[in-house]
Amino acid sequence: MNRRFDFWAAVLLATAFLAGCSININDSSTQSEYSEDFSFYIPVANYDELSVSDINGSITIIGVDGLDEVEVTGQKIVQDESFEQARRHITDISVDIVSSGSLLGVRTTQPNTSGNRTYQVDYEIRVPSDWAVSVTDVNGTTEVDNIINSVNATLTNGTFSAYDIFGDLNANLTNGNIDADVTLLAGNRCELTTTNGNIALWVPSSTSAAISASVVNGSVTVSGLSIAISSSSRTYLEGTMGKGEGQISLSTVNGNIQLNSL
C-alpha cells in the first residue's frame, strides 16, 4: 500500500540457520554487537492459530495463501561492552517453538538487561492467511499483513500496523501509534486503544458498523466515509455506518484519531 512507511519494507529474510556477527559503535554508545540468524519450518497440519511473544525487537507476520509450512526466521542480537562479551552471551537468548492443541506458539526467552548489556530478537514469520494471530511485545514494532481471521496485539512501547485484515482486529498499546486497515464482516469488531499515540484506521466505505471514537488530548477526524452521527465533538464521535452490524471502537488519551475510507 502506498501509504505505508518505508521502514516497514525493511524486513528480515533468512533461509538457513547461519551465525553472523557485527560490531556497531557510534557516538552515543560504545557497545559492540553480536548477532545470530535463526530459522524454523513447521508443518501447518493440526494448527490454525499463531501466538508470538517477544520482549525487545520487531515482529513481522505475513499471511500467505496455501502455505504448507510456517516459516519462523529472524535474528538474535546482543549488545555489550565488547564484541567478545556480546558473542559469549548470545546463548542467553532462546527462541522456543511450543504448541498447545491447535495453537502454535513462538516465544523469546532472555534475561533482563544486565548492566550495559541488552538483548533483542527480531522476527519475520509467514503463516497461512486464514490463521488467527496474536502478538505480545514489550519494546518494538509489530506489523501484521494479509490475515483473513482475528488479529490481537498487546504492546507496551512500540508501533503497531495491520494491513489487509479481514476479521476481528484488536490492539492495545501503552505508548505508540496504530495504523491499520480492516474489512469487517457482519458481527466483526475492531477495537484499537493506545494511551500515548495516534490511531489511523482505514475501512471500506461499505462497512456496516456502530462507531465510537474518543480522545482526551487531541482530535477525531473522518474522511471519505458516510456516518450517521448521533453525537460528536472535536474529541468524540459516535455514529453508525450502514446497518451497524459490526463494531468499531477507537480511543487514545494523548493523540489524534483518523477514520478514513479504504
- In angstroms, the CA 213 to CA 218 distance is 12
Strand partners, 147: 165
Q: Say which residue the cell 500500500 belongs to.
A: 1
Q: Where are the beta strands (DSSP E) in 65-188?
A: 69-80, 94-100, 103-109, 118-128, 132-139, 142-147, 151-157, 160-166, 169-175, 178-183
Q: Report DSSP letters for 193-235, one per residue.
A: EEEES-EEEEE-TT--EEEEEEEEES-EEEES---EEEEEETT
Q: Give the pLDDT of residue 29.
A: 53
**146: Cβ contacts below 8 Å, ≥ 6 apart:** 62, 63, 64, 129, 163, 164
All residue ranges of the chain with pLDDT < 70 are 1-30, 113
The per-residue pLDDT for range 70-122, each reduced to its tens digit, is: 999 999 999 999 999 999 999 999 999 999 999 999 999 998 767 789 999 99
Q: Cell numbers for 67, please give them.
A: 502455505
- HSE-CB at 141 with a 13 A cutoff on CA atoms is 13
**What Cα–Cα distance (Å) separates residue 58 from each residue in 36, 54, 137, 141, 202?**
15, 8, 8, 5, 23
Q: Give the pLDDT of residue 113.
A: 66
Q: Where are the beta strands (DSSP E) in 22-82?
A: 32-43, 49-56, 59-64, 69-80
